[in-house]
Amino acid sequence: MPAERNNAASLILFNGNVLWVTGGLVDNVTQHTTYYVTLNGSWSGPPLPAGVSGHCLVSVSVSTILLVPGDAFDIATASRSDLVESPWTYSIPEDAWTLGLWPK
């Protein structure tokens, strides 16, 4: 990862081989970026729907992740974001975020 983060959330994926680190604060700026981390290095993951910190990730299944809201900040408008007032669901196979608890 290019920078140390505070208040990020992480989850172990892919049979315990990869740590997915999401959001958090870098120099007090809320992040919408994610990174996959292994013993061999790290690389960029899919962006979050908004910058978020103090959140939580829950593995619902091997292919579905639930993002439970924390503090949100919309980078585009430089204001508090309504994007993560509700939980978001991430589908690994579809590489897509859906607003709400379960994908349709």
What are the tens digits of pLDDT across the range 3-60?
889 899 999 998 889 999 999 988 888 889 999 999 999 999 999 988 888 899 999 9
In a domain, 1, yes or no: no
Identify the pLDDT of residue 4: 87
pLDDT in tens, 46-103: 999 888 888 999 999 999 999 988 766 554 455 555 555 678 899 999 999 988 775 5
Domain annotation covers residue 88: yes
How many separate domains does the chain show? 1
d(Cα 17, Cα 12) in Å, to the nearest integer? Answer: 7
Q: Is residue 39 part of a domain?
A: yes
Residue 1: the pLDDT is: 67
| Sign of the dihedral through C-alpha 2, 7, 57, 98 | negative
C-alpha closest to that of 25 among 33, 16, 14? 33
pLDDT at position 15: 84
**Considering only CA atoms, which of 102, 100, 35 is closest in space to residue 64?**
102
Tokens of 90: 């991430």
Give the domain range for residue 58.
9-99
Residue 47 is assigned to a structural domain of this protein: yes
